[in-house]
């Protein structure tokens, strides 16, 4: 086995380990209803470093977060997990419509029209 093959294999294992750690930490943030909407990137980086027991470069971490598809956005100051809504999203409930009542009314109108 060539040295380059060993290094390449080790890099793949490290990348897989980092991706798994990112998914795990993000899952905890998504599942916690009391967690903040925006996660500070430095706090998230510390959590991931504790998970894999080694330091992680911020650019490598950002790539792993994007690859995980568990986050909506990330930059060097904050991270927004996928389960969190953007602050601009309107969360007001839409007025509901009783479809069965509408169908019944329409059916009665059609019956009366045929008579």
User: Does a structural domain hold residue 106?
Assistant: no
pLDDT in tens, 4-20: 443 444 455 577 888 88
pLDDT at 65 > cutoff 50: yes
Give the domain range for residue 50. Answer: 3-85
Contact 17, 52 (CB under 8 A): yes
User: Does a structural domain hold residue 11?
Assistant: yes
**Res. 36 pLDDT band, cuts 50 70 90:** low
Number of domains in the chain: 1
Q: Can you list the positions of beta strands (E) in 1-115?
A: 38-40, 71-74, 78-81
Helix, strand, or coil (residue 21)? helix
Q: What is the pTM for the complete model shown?
A: 0.59
CATH at residue 31:
1.10.10
pLDDT at 3 > cutoff 60: no
User: Does a structural domain hold residue 51?
Assistant: yes
pLDDT in tens, 48-63: 889 888 888 888 888 8
pLDDT at 91 > cutoff 60: no
């Amino acid at each position: 086995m060539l040295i380059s093959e060993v290094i390449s294999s080790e890099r793949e294992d490290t990348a897989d380990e980092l991706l798994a750690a990112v998914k795990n930490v993000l899952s905890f943030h998504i599942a916690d209803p009391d967690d903040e909407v925006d996660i500070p990137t430095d706090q998230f980086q510390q959590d991931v470093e504790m998970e894999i027991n080694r330091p992680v470069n911020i650019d490598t971490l950002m790539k792993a977060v994007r690859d995980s598809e568990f986050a909506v956005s990330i930059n060097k100051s904050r991270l927004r997990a996928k389960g969190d809504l953007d602050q601009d999203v309107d969360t007001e409930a839409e007025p509901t419509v009783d479809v069965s009542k509408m169908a019944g009314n329409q059916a009665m109108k059609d019956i009366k029209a045929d008579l």
